[in-house]
Every structure is written in structure tokens, then in C-alpha cells.
Structure 1
Amino acid sequence: MNDETIKAVVGHNSSRTSRAAAAKYEDGKLVMVSPTSGASNLAREYPNYVFRTVPPASVYAKSLAERIYGYKNIGGEWLEKIAICYDSQDTYSQSFKNDFKSNIFQLNSENPSQPQAQVFDTDCDLSVEQFNPQEILDQIKSQGADALVLIASVKTIDKAAEIAKAQGEDKLPLFGSTSMYAGKTLEIGEEGVEGMLLIIPWYPHSRQSNQSFLGNAFKLWGGRVSWRTALAYDATKVIIEGLKKSETREGLQEAFKSPNFSVDGASGKVKFDEGGDRVEEPQDSVIIRQRLDSQSGTEYDFEWRP
């Protein structure tokens, strides 16, 4: 913090870590640009030196709620009882859960003629050490759940995937937060996660993808990239462009706050609002499918779904 040659920080990964560091960055007038910390109020709590290339969780919770609200099961029935598994000790997971529930409530009020969806709490807390996926799943089904939403933190993706895997043939319609876009989901969940729908900030093979970025990234790393890679690239590019306008910490912050500042990144145009959140809110939906041409190292992979 005292090293004035450090002008900005790219990070942190989790919202919990970013929140812990944000107060120090504000005090030290050091810009932080996070590509992955999605807790809804993070930038608003620290509006001066905290910026994000990832939109807040509320954006994706809203989109997921809308997709589920208009979803019918195989029998053609609306999903009316939605169970949630989340990490009670994680800032992002709590934020996504609360935003999702609020949006379902709002959709109910806007559509009184449609069967009202109920989001009910379960004992499915992914932060608990003594964790039995089968017992939790049995409880969820005994409560009459029509669908299951997995809202893991980066540390509990494996537990969420284990719950999906425990479903067997009698599978509930499955949905996930942005955090579930990870190799662990496919490796651990296997056939249990097939059909799970996710809303994420960016997918490499969608219409909005920057093909130049994809080609260069493949040459550099020799493999495919995820939304985390793309938004980390955008965070770095934002800082580089900002430093062209000023090489001081305060000057960099002022550049980001300018209404005229924007950067064309891998995920589209990056421009910040007054609170440090991204103005444009890129998003794609993906579904997990079994694929013969899977590049994930498993039989399953993420597939773009317009």
C-alpha cells in the first residue's frame, strides 16, 4: 500500500476477499478493478476506488429468475416450488440468493394470473463441514421442490456439484449461479449436472465474443478461456488505458470516473458508473450437455444457449 510505484490492483477473486481489502484501498487511494467479485453492493459500499468489470450479482440473479419463472417441466407444468442451496458464509452467495428471491417475488406481483412461484429455504448450506449430499437432496425432494438452484461460492463448487450428482435418474430441473461455471462442476457433477442452466457474463462462442481476443488467448495459453479470463483481461486493459491519461493513483481514479472514459474489451465496452459498477451488463446463458467433442476433459461441457 505504501509503495507508490503500484498504481492499481486487478482483483480480488471472491467478493469476501475484495470487501476485506476495499477499505484499505480506499484509505490508500489505490484503485482496485475486480473481474470476478460479484456481490451486489460491493462497489456502492466503497464508491471511490473500487471498480468492477463484472456486473453485480443482481444482474444475473434477475436474469436467472426470469428464465426460471417462464420455465415449464417435462410435464408442461410451471415451476412453483424452488429450492436453493447456497453458502451462508460467502458474501457473493448470500447476495445472489437474496437478489434471486427478490426478483421471484417481483415477478409474482407482476403476473398475478400465473401460478405463484415459491422460493423456500432448506438446510442446504454449502458452508457446513458435516455435509451429506444425499440427505440434503432427499429432504429437498420430500418438501415437494420443482427445481433446484445451486448458488456456490468459489470454495464450495464441489459440494454443489456433489448434490447434483446425487440426484440419480429422478432429476429436478437444475439452475446455477455464475460461480458454477467451472471445471469442477463438470468433473464432479458428471451426468448429474447435465441440463443445468447458468447465466454468465461471457461465453467464448456466443455472438458477442471478441474473436481477436479468443485467437490471441489461444496462442498464448494453448487452451480455451472462460468468462473469468475475459473479464480479467478487460480489467487489465482498463488500467492500461487509464494510465495513459494519468500515472498517479488519484489521476487514474479520476480517469475511471470520467463520463468520457470507456474501453473496448473482450466482453464488450467497459465504462463505469459513478459508483464504480459497469454500465453495460454483458451476459450469456449456457447449458451443460453431454458432447462427443467436449474440450473440458470430461464427457460434458458448457454449450451456448441463446
Structure 2
Amino acid sequence: MSSWTCDGVPKDGKQYPGVSPHTPQTNTGPDCIICGLPKEAMEPSQGEKQKPGKTVMAGSSGSGSPSWLIPGIIAVIIIILGGGLAAFFLLKENDQSINTPTPSPLPTETTPTPTTGESVSRGDKLFLQSTPNKQAGADAFAQENWPGAVTAYATAVQGDANDPESRIYWQNAQAKQAGNPLTIAVAVPTTSSPDSAAEILRGVAKYQTEYNQSSASGRLLEVAIIDSSDPTTAPNVAQEIINTPDILGIVGYGIDPGSQAALQQYENAGVAVLSPLTSSFQDSTLKTIPINEKEDELLVNYLQAVGKTLTQYAAQQQPSPNIAIFYNSDSGYSQQLQQEIINSLPEVQGNLIEQIDISSPDFDANSAVTNLQNSGANVGILALSQNKVSQAVEIAKANENNGSPLLLMGGDELYNADILVQGGDAIAGIILAVPWSFSPTDDFAQDALQSWKGRVSWRTATAYDATKALVETVSKNPDRTMIFQALSNGITLSDSTTDFNLFNEVPLVKAVQGNEGPKGSNYQFDPLK
């Protein structure tokens, strides 16, 4: 399907309840990824004819209850790995932050930018922070000096146990040295959001380590890292991967137009990708779906659950809550979450007091909070993308000085070390909805704590599960066609870190005082009891 642009204003004269104008968004599927309008809504005299008397609900599948999908990298990831959730990402003793990449909608179709192979690495190039030992490993890898690469990368891992790139490349060098590796790829935004990428890669590296330590076939797992930061290069990078037949499958990508174009290419070529837009999960079965099957899209279903969870908690604290929504109109994620919160208000007898676009040039946190107090608001939901952490902190600080502070809540993109460090006491008590949270009683959390010498986040957990699902399929039938077919038919998952049914009620975390948060903060996010 060719690309088309939606601005949230129907052009076909039909009514679409719940849809509002938004920044122009380029789409490749049948529906707008921001508001859910079908392509024909933008065509005054074209498109399919709607049945008489039927009102179109934006984003509705019309096929019963939604399937809850694997989050995130499957980011973001997460999900939003790579930007979507959403996106398929670490709160720890060091100063690493946990940011989910959320690409801004592109106003016009972009022209693919030629690539030179610099966006893919198995160990010959470094995408995250460099050290002398890592660079020595990359140099040796590029020269196919496998023993030298193994030694250098092993030293790099010993020097920084929290760096997943070194660990992945160290194991890649061992796989190359052993010969005939099984190879997959992971697409993460290493340039645009290195902290988020690192969180995802920790989950990938953890499963790679486990697999290689117990491989019955003798074939070790190799992971190629794709930098998915630039949407204009995504189609050409995808073609590079398609033309590299030993890469048997991919985890990652987001919801931006570049990712969508890449995903369509992989689908056409029969290369399996576990991403937010091409994966569904129901009744213990994970399967890949055509990118144009909008009714099974991760982001919409997930954010519906987030909206319901946040408003339900607000109603528990404040019966018939008076809710104000802070959002940023330059983010599709933010606008979608804003809409899902609005959609969920009637179920809790909630009242929408005001919607505040923090992207507006005249936005002022102090004035906004004061006005909300005067308007009777008692809950403020921060439906913001990860690049708006500083504005979220401004709102929290203004709220702290308010005579009647709002109950502040938000989504997973604010699950971020920066908000704990910058917010100080002002963010005490903020409630966030996230797919998975660190718990002292969780085996995966405790094992990851030992592996990475610090806490990990839900992005790491979901990336681990996605990698496990793909590799288990790849190891049974290491053939692209058979892998694509197996995942299209669906595979049964067992022993996953993530409870995939949790999206009926997304877990909540709360910022509380503690010494297990990021360096520079006296706060940490703990599960809400």
C-alpha cells in the first residue's frame, strides 16, 4: 500500500467519534497510527463505501475483544522497542537512564537515504560508549582475528559489567571462532536514544548468554545490532539485511514511518520480525501478523489498557475524578495515550477538566497548574513522550508548590532515571503505568541484578522474552522460509518473564524514597501494592 497522510480531519463527510485534529502523519497501513482514521477518510471522493447507517469508530477492529500483544522491543520493544511503545529499556546504581524512543510523526513522506553498511554491526563497529578495550575488540573483529576479539571484548566486559554491547560482541566473537553460528538481528535506536537501546540490549545479551552456555547443537548464537535511529535510512538498511541471508530473523523496530517501510520490506521478502506492529499474543500463542492488520496493533491495545488502568486508579483515590491531561502534540504516542485516557473516563465517571499541550510555545507549568487548581482539577495525567522529561519535572515542581497538589500519574515513557534525578522531592508519589517492574521476589529481576550489577527495567525483561521466542524458533528450523511460516502460524510460549495478560490492567509503580535508584537521586520506582 502506498503512503498517505492524515491530519485527523475527515475529508469524506463521515463522522468518526473520538477523533481530533493532529500533526500530519505519514502512514503506510490502512489506518492512521495516531487517530485510527482509515485511509478513505482522507479521500473526499475515493475509498471503500461504508455500509449505510454505520458509524466508524477510529481504531476499532470490529472483531470482539483485542489481542494483548508482546510489548516492546519489542520496545520500545517498546515497546516500544525502537520507538513504539511503544515501544520494546535501567534503573540502577549508576547514572544510566531509561528512555523510550518516540519518533515524532513525519509531516511528509521521506526519501530513503543511501547507506554504507555503517548501521549494522556484529562486532566490527561500536554504537554505544567506546573504551580502549572495546575499540581493540572492534578492530580485531573487523580483521576476523577471532581470538584477539574474544580477548579484547572479554576484558571490556570485565571492565564494565553493565555494558551489553561488549557482552554481545564478546559472544559473537566466540560464535565466529567456533564457526557456523546461528544469527539474528536486533534493531534499536543506538544513536538517537542510547540508554533505551542499552536497556533492550541487556535483555538480548542475557538470553544470548544463556543460549550459548547450553546450546545442544553446538551452534552458538550471534546477534547483529541494527541502529534504527534514522527513519530515512530504514528501508535501505532493511534491504541490506534481506540481502544477508545468514541473518535469520529480527527483533525490534518502532512505529515511525521508516520502521513501517522496513517492516513491509521484510514481510514481502519473507523475513520474520518480532516488532510492536507485527506481533500478537493471545491464549499463550505468539504469532507474527501482516503489518496492515491494524486490529492487532500493539500500541493501540496497550495504550487502551494504560488509559483504563490510570483512570481506574485515579477514581479509587478521587471518586469521580476531575482529570487534566498534559500531552505533547509532536508525538503520536502522546496523542494516542491522551485519546485513550479520554475514552476511559466514562467508565469511572471521570470529568475532563482540561487538555494541555506542553508543546505550545506559551506553555508555562506554574500558570497551568494554578489554573487547574482554580478549575477544580484533582488529578493530572502526564501523557508525555520520553523527550519531555524536563517539562514533566517542571509540572511536578509547580505542583509541589501548589496549595492543593494534583495526584500526578503518567505512562511508561516517564519511567526514567532522569525524572528521579531532576525531580527530587517534587516527584515523590508520582504513579506510572509500566508493563513490568523490578521486584525483590522476581527471579528474573534478581538474576539480572547480579548480571548487570544494577536494576533493570521492563524493556530488558520484554526484550529477553522476544529474543527467546525468536531464537527458539530459529534453532528448530534455521531457514528463513520455515521461520517466517512458523511464526506466521503461531508458536506456543512458556516460562516467559512477562505475564502477557497483564495488559488488562497494566502494573503501577510509585516513586518512593530508597537507595536503589539512579545515582544522584534518593528515589526509586517500586511496585504499587
Assess same fold via TM > 0.5: yes
Q: Is the 8 A contact 2:417 2:517 kept in 1?
A: no
- 2:357 corresponds to which residue? 125
Secondary structure of 1:9's counterpart equals strand
Q: Are residue 300 (structure 1) and residue 523 (structure 2) matched?
A: yes
Distance 1:36 1:45 in 2: 6
Deviations 1:222-281 (A, max 9, x none): 21101111111111111111212333344323323435521422224xxxxxxxxx6664
Match runs of 1:217-236 below 5 Å:
217-236=448-467
> Which residue identity lines up with residue 126 of structure 1 in the other structure?
I
Distance 1:86 1:166 in 2: 16
Q: Quick one: structure 1 residues 51 and 245, their matched pair in 2 at CA, closer, same or farther if it must change by over 3 Å?
A: farther
- Deviation (angstroms), 1:18: 4.4
- 1:66 corresponds to which residue? 312
Q: Are residue 151 (structure 1) and residue 383 (structure 2) matched?
A: yes
- 1:183 corresponds to which residue? 417
Q: Is the 8 A contact 1:37 1:92 kept in 2?
A: no
Q: Quick one: structure 1 residues 263 and 168, their matched pair in 2 at CA, closer, same or farther if it must change by over 3 Å?
A: same
Q: Quick one: structure 1 residues 254 and 140, their matched pair in 2 at CA, closer, same or farther if it must change by over 3 Å?
A: farther
Radius of gyration: which is bigger?
Answer: 2
- 1:113 corresponds to which residue? none
Q: Is the 8 A contact 1:133 1:166 kept in 2?
A: yes
- Deviation (angstroms), 1:57: 1.7
Match among 232, 237, 244 for residue 475 of structure 2: 244
Q: Quick one: structure 1 residues 15 and 87, their matched pair in 2 at CA, closer, same or farther if it must change by over 3 Å?
A: farther
Distance 2:452 2:353 in 1: 43
Q: Is the 8 A contact 2:511 2:526 kept in 1?
A: yes
Distance 1:189 1:197 in 2: 14
Q: Is the 8 A contact 1:81 1:119 kept in 2?
A: yes
Secondary structure of 2:422's counterpart equals helix
> Which residue identity lines up with residue 303 of structure 1 in the other structure?
D
- 2:68 corresponds to which residue? none
Match among 234, 258, 264 for residue 495 of structure 2: 264
Q: Is the 8 A contact 2:439 2:445 kept in 1?
A: no
Match runs of 1:98-117 below 5 Å:
98-105=339-346, 107-108=347-348, 116-117=349-350
Match among 248, 253, 258 for residue 484 of structure 2: 253
Query: TM-score w.r.t. structure 2 length?
Result: 0.46
Distance 1:163 1:45 in 2: 37
Distance 2:354 2:249 in 1: 40
Match among 258, 264, 273 for residue 23 of structure 1: 264
Deviations 1:174-200 (A, max 9, x none): 111122211122122222221111221
- Deviation (angstroms), 1:202: 0.7
Distance 2:277 2:449 in 1: 21
Distance 1:37 1:87 in 2: 26
Secondary structure of 2:399's counterpart equals coil
- Deviation (angstroms), 1:149: 0.1
> Which residue identity lines up with residue 247 of structure 2 in the other structure?
I
> Which residue identity lines up with residue 168 of structure 1 in the other structure?
E
Q: Is the 8 A contact 2:278 2:290 kept in 1?
A: no
Q: Are residue 142 (structure 1) and residue 374 (structure 2) matched?
A: yes
- 1:86 corresponds to which residue? 327
- Deviation (angstroms), 1:35: 7.0
Distance 2:254 2:462 in 1: 11
List runs of 5+ in structure 2 lacking aligned partners: 1-238, 280-288
> Which residue identity lines up with residue 99 of structure 1 in the other structure?
E
- Deviation (angstroms), 1:54: 11
Q: Quick one: structure 1 residues 17 and 294, their matched pair in 2 at CA, closer, same or farther if it must change by over 3 Å?
A: farther
Deviations 1:137-186 (A, max 9, x none): 23333332111000111222332222112222422111111222111221
Q: Quick one: structure 1 residues 287 and 31, their matched pair in 2 at CA, closer, same or farther if it must change by over 3 Å?
A: same
Secondary structure of 1:295's counterpart equals coil
- 2:52 corresponds to which residue? none
Secondary structure of 2:526's counterpart equals strand
- Deviation (angstroms), 1:9: 2.6
- Deviation (angstroms), 1:302: 0.9
> Which residue identity lines up with residue 90 of structure 1 in the other structure?
S
Distance 2:290 2:313 in 1: 27
> Which residue identity lines up with residue 242 of structure 1 in the other structure?
T
Q: Quick one: structure 1 residues 32 and 188, their matched pair in 2 at CA, closer, same or farther if it must change by over 3 Å?
A: farther
Q: Is the 8 A contact 2:267 2:290 kept in 1?
A: no
Residues 23-32 or 171-180, more deviating: 23-32
Q: Is the 8 A contact 1:16 1:92 kept in 2?
A: no
| Equivalent residue pairs, number | 274
Deviations 1:204-227 (A, max 9, x none): 2076x3x1x334323332211011
